[in-house]
Amino acid sequence: MSYQAKGLQAWFFQRVTGVFMAFYMVYVLWFSLSTELFTYQIWLAWFSHPLMNMATALFFIQLVVHTWVGMRDIVLDYMPGDILRFITLTCISLFLMALSIGMLRILFSLSFNIL
């Protein structure tokens, strides 16, 4: 896409990530409600499965992208002053990176049943 289509690109990322996250959340809710006895062992086995682990990692990657695009647009549209924008976007990006590292650590632990 060209430089002029940045708004369209942000719109597209928001929609694609939103659709995947919606399907993922419906699946998790369906599984949770359809399982009669939902114990920690069942939860651990379910999230330790490689496909579920990959889907969860993809969910959190898309959550971070979705959050970044939305927050970036809000900050750029409504926050006055370049310095305040820069500081705010830096704080948001550091928070999202810390969240990503924490989630990757948890998913890595689940894939090897370290928890």
DSSP state of 37: S
Residue-level pLDDT at 1: 42
Residue-level pLDDT at 25: 95
Give the whole-angstrom CA distance, residue 97 versus residue 85. 18
Q: What is the mean pLDDT of each run of 10 residues along the chain (115 residues)?
A: 63 90 95 87 85 90 92 91 94 94 84 65
Range of the domain at 63: 3-111
How many domains, in total, are found in the chain?
Answer: 1
- Report the CATH number at residue 17: 1.20.1300.10
Question: Please, where are the H alpha helices in 1-115?
Answer: 6-34, 40-48, 50-78, 82-111
The encoded tokens of residue 62 equal 């898309």
